A and B are shown apart, each in its own frame.
Chain A
Amino acid sequence: GAVVSQHPSWVICKSGTSVKIECRSLDFQATTMFWYRQFPKQSLMLMATSNEGSKATYEQGVEKDKFLINHASLTLSTLTVTSAHPEDSSFYICSARPLGDRGMYQETQYFGPGTRLLVL
């Protein structure tokens, strides 16, 4: 249990294009999902918190118009990097917090495998 998937696992795009990354909780429902970014040799940095059916909450310094987050269902959140530039190249990781008791820790976040984005 507690499997989170991300799609795609890696993507290469041209500068100026938009890229959508999907995050799915496969065997549980999650009212809250989180998006992180990780640059090489650095730790994970929280970008935003995504709540199902409401607007995402962005961390200071993260442009909400550039990183569009949609959490339309209890199992899916998407991150769209709009007008991507080379400096947006990074490892993007999502996590989800379970809703309800299914033998999983409700207070624990479970992470996806990450999406590596390279903007040329």
Chain B
Amino acid sequence: DAKTTQPPSMDCAEGRAANLPCNHSTISGNEYVYWYRQIHSQGPQYIIHGLKNNETNEMASLIITEDRKSSTLILPHATLRDTAVYYCIVRVNNNDMRFGAGTRLTVKP
């Protein structure tokens, strides 16, 4: 599975959009991009995933570049409850999820 690179931490003002980047320059054609988040002392929560098209659900939007070497998770209106560690994971379907260090997002009032 391809490795990912994420900034270790980011801040965002409450009510603003949070844009979390992820680099996955070695991604292969059959690998999906997944995003999970982990709020302190809880299990990871699934957010969204995609292959090559942009995706949107009730939680977030996922923008994948045309060459698929990077992606951005967008939380459109961040709240204090969105403070968490966000993990970008790239894997082939049905392989296990392997977590990197993630990005610690702090939403500030």
A44 interface residue, CB < 8 Å from B?
yes
**Known contacts A34-B96, A49-B96, A95-B97: does B43 contact A108 (CB below 8 Å)?**
no
List of B residues within 8 angstroms of A93 by Cβ: 43-44
- Give the B interface residue count (CB, 8 A): 21
Give the contact stretch, choosing among A14-22, A71-79, A81-89, A109-117.
A109-117
**Per-residue contact bits, chain B 26-45, to A (CB 8 Å; 1 contact, 0 not):** 00000010101010011111
- Segment at the interface with A among B9-17, B62-70, B74-82, B99-107: B99-107
Which residues of A (16-71) have their CB < 8 Å from a CB of B? 34, 36, 43-46, 49
> Are B102 and A113 in contact (CB-based, < 8 A)?
no
Main secondary structure of the interface of A (DSSP, over half): strand
Most B Cβ at <10 Å: residue of A36, A49, A116: A36
Contact: A46 with B46, CB < 8 Å? no
User: Do the beta carbons of A97 and B43 come within 8 Å of each other?
Assistant: no
The reply to whether A107 and B101 contact each other, CB–CB distance below 8 Å, is: no
Q: Cβ of A107 and Cβ of B99 under 8 Å apart?
A: no
What's the Cα separation between A45 and B34 when bound, in Å?
Answer: 17
Determine the distance from Cα of A116 to Cα of B43 in the docked complex, in whole angstroms: 11
CB of A105 within 8 A of CB of B49, answer yes
Q: Whose C-beta in chain B lies nearest to the C-beta of A107?
A: B93
Is the Cβ of B49 less than 8 Å from the Cβ of A108?
yes
What CA separation (Å) do A57 and B101 show in the bound complex? 24
Q: Which residues of A contact B99 (CB under 8 A)?
A: 36, 43-45
Chain B neighbourhood of A4, CB < 8 A: 43
A107/B43 in contact, CB under 8 A: no
B100-A43 in contact (CB<8A): yes
B32 and A107 contacting across the interface, CB-CB below 8 Å: yes
Separation of A2 and B46 alpha carbons in the complex (Å): 10
B98: nearest chain-A partner, CB-CB: A46
Cα separation A34 to B38 with both chains bound (whole Å): 17
Q: How far is the CB of A7 from chain B (nearest CB, A)?
A: 13
Residues of B within 8 A of A (CB): 32, 34, 36, 38, 41-46, 49, 87, 93-94, 96-102
Ranked 3 nearest A-B pairs via Cβ: A111-B43, A44-B99, A107-B93
